[in-house]
Chain A
């Protein structure tokens, strides 16, 4: 299994000057909007603590809350299914759709369905799947995964969208007016809402005390997907459970403020029971979440409410783009989740970070993201997944720096020039440092040499 090379992918992203500049500016703007919202709420930090505490309590009692959710959902007339992994999820969804004779499925954005790679599974079995969120639709038509969990096509400029639409839904290739493009997607998608036999959503939250599925959108596409067809399927990761309706006050107040810097999404929908004459099916999905719950250093990552604030603030993500991470989940949250899906494949991701900690500071549920990134580096080293070059460099560094004599020999100045710079500091990749930066000059003396000369009294030789 080939390792995802984030550095290599990022260098391609950075070479596209207009794209990287826009991407960085756009997401920094979302980060600043978040800041303005957080500054307006005196209780902001208290809300973060509450949100974190609710999630930690729930995860520590997850089995009980899942059972309560299931009981209430069934009482409401919904069907509840359980899927151990992605393959089972896809099969369950297909079985529900095919047993109801569904030919067309309309769906709103769900990272879980992307994680399970559901769409190709259904399409290969003859079910037409229409992504109704504009950003997800762009990516579907371009055969690319979403690059950001809230704004899936943020890495694209309008000219890219014009090109994609022209080649697929027949818009004018020369017209990249954003209103024209958005209206074209609305008009093209609308007939699908009307004729779809089934609709599907994910869930931002699932409330145990009522069996409600809560979906937050701006486009209204989740409501259209559910309120028109006679069959509704909700795919929900088991970590999305929260105990009570009143807890939504905390989470809904934080979600859109963190994600987009707006007080609430345009639509906040609560699906508790099916309409008369229709069916509601809920699929509760594990796919590695229970296992992650048992990881003492990493289970806090399950608190995630998928707001994307960590991506918006991450200086590395903004300059490399979500697709550089090679996974459904990118940015800081991706870095701490992806190694649980495949340690070797994602072993370089925890090093795509400066450990600056901004992600942890914006996380509405106080996930200690940068601390988990640090811990993942230890796991990767212990499980022998470090590249050989790095592993050897660290072994050498570890020996040199543990010995005052070896250290002084490495650091002592025998002159200036690149060849005299301590190898352990630049790890044989000198050319990497020097590609876009000047290399520091070696000084005339080390501090220690100066100290010996200027502060330590010289003893006369006997």
Chain B
């Protein structure tokens, strides 16, 4: 018997009597899907929120937010940047990017989370290797909570899907909160209709 069969045989012999799987409610009665609720949750997790520029010039706004940035790489048509993502062949090439720009497919008001997959990242590593991430979010694309979020068909089709909630963080040394652990140092969300 190979390992697989041996393990499955052991398990079948040991399994306790079956009991039913419960129905899962969505717990979203009276829950908000507003951008304000989302923003409060995002800020609590260390993210930043910047209103869209009145003149619609996201490139200029981003250069203003990150004046010291040398390499700006955008995965969205609304922002040009100076490192075209179509020309990036390997994820490692993003290592010197100061600011990455992506668009989340949707947000979650309960937690301030953003959902992205390879379709949004173009290159998955852009969400983690760059120093600072700017995320565009359509205010109409916000669900109330994680129960709602986990109904999204993207979980069945995307190879890689992630909820990003604020910047990377750690409190491993004496419980002191550090933003910018191994991944992005800052996350800035800008509301922008698709």
Q: Is the CB of A273 within 8 A of B159?
A: yes
A-B pairs with lowest CB-CB distance, top 9: A220-B183, A294-B14, A219-B181, A220-B168, A135-B172, A290-B10, A249-B147, A273-B159, A268-B163
User: What are 18 of the A-B contact pairs (CB < 8 Å)?
Assistant: A54-B21, A60-B19, A82-B7, A84-B3, A151-B171, A179-B178, A181-B173, A190-B182, A218-B181, A220-B128, A223-B127, A223-B162, A227-B128, A252-B146, A252-B150, A267-B164, A272-B159, A274-B159
Which chain B residues in 142-189 approach chain A with CB under 8 Å? 145-147, 149-151, 155-156, 158-176, 178, 180-184
Q: Is the CB of A62 within 8 A of B147?
A: no
Tell me if A418 counts as interface (CB < 8 A to partner B): no
Tell me if A266 counts as interface (CB < 8 A to partner B): yes
Tell me if B27 counts as interface (CB < 8 A to partner A): yes
Q: Which of B60-68, B73-81, B110-118 contacts A (4 or more CB under 8 A)?
A: B110-118
Which of A49, A181, A218, A271 has the largest count of B CB atoms less than 10 A from its CB? A218
Give A189's nearest chain B residue, CB to CB: B182
Give A43's nearest chain B residue, CB to CB: B27
Return B121 CB to nearest CB of chain A, in Å: 9
CA distance A266 to B173 in the complex (A): 17
**C-beta contact mask, B119-148 vs A, less than 8 Å → 1, else 0?**
000001101110000000000000001110
Total A-B residue contacts, Cβ distance less than 8 Å = 247
> Which residues on A sit within 8 Å (CB–CB) of B91?
227-228
Tell me if A425 counts as interface (CB < 8 A to partner B): no
Q: Is the CB of A223 within 8 A of B17?
A: no
| Count of interface residues, chain B, beta-carbon cutoff 8 Å | 73
> Which residues on B sit within 8 Å (CB–CB) of A96?
none
Q: Is the CB of B19 within 8 A of A275?
A: no
Tell me if B20 counts as interface (CB < 8 A to partner A): yes
Q: Is the CB of B160 within 8 A of A272?
A: yes
| Count of interface residues, chain A, beta-carbon cutoff 8 Å | 90
Besides the known contacts A84-B7, A178-B176, 9 further A-B residue pairs in the complex with CB atoms under 8 A apart = A60-B16, A138-B173, A179-B176, A221-B182, A223-B127, A238-B11, A249-B26, A269-B160, A270-B161
Tell me if B86 counts as interface (CB < 8 A to partner A): no
Q: Is the CB of B183 within 8 A of A221?
A: yes
Give B178's nearest chain A residue, CB to CB: A182
Q: Which of A112-120, A239-247, A348-356, A452-460 contacts B (4 or more CB under 8 A)?
A: A239-247
> Which residues on B sit within 8 Å (CB–CB) of A158?
173-174
Query: Given A60-B17, A223-B162, A266-B165, is A253 in contact with B181 using a C-beta cutoff of 8 Å?
Result: no
> Which residues on A sit within 8 Å (CB–CB) of B164?
266-267
Tell me if B15 counts as interface (CB < 8 A to partner A): yes
CA distance A158 to B176 in the complex (A): 10
Q: Is the CB of B175 within 8 A of A29?
A: yes
Return A108 CB to nearest CB of chain B, in Å: 9
Interface residues of A (CB under 8 A from B): 22, 26, 29, 43, 49-50, 53-54, 56-57, 59-63, 66-67, 76, 81-84, 88, 132-135, 138, 151-154, 156-158, 161, 178-179, 181-183, 186, 189-190, 193-194, 210, 212, 218-221, 223-224, 226-228, 238, 243, 245-250, 252-253, 260, 262-275, 284, 286, 290-291, 293-294, 296, 299
Q: Is the CB of B15 within 8 A of A59?
A: yes
> Which residues on A sit within 8 Å (CB–CB) of B45?
262-264, 266
Query: Given A26-B175, A182-B178, is A227 in contact with B10 using a C-beta cutoff of 8 Å?
Result: no
CA distance A220 to B169 in the complex (A): 8
Q: Is the CB of A67 within 8 A of B8?
A: yes
> Which residues on B sit within 8 Å (CB–CB) of A63?
8, 11-12, 15
CA distance A226 to B150 in the complex (A): 22
Query: Given A218-B169, A220-B168, A228-B125, is A249 in contact with B24 using a C-beta cutoff of 8 Å?
Result: yes
Q: Is the CB of B110 within 8 A of A263?
A: yes
Q: Is the CB of B7 within 8 A of A224?
A: no
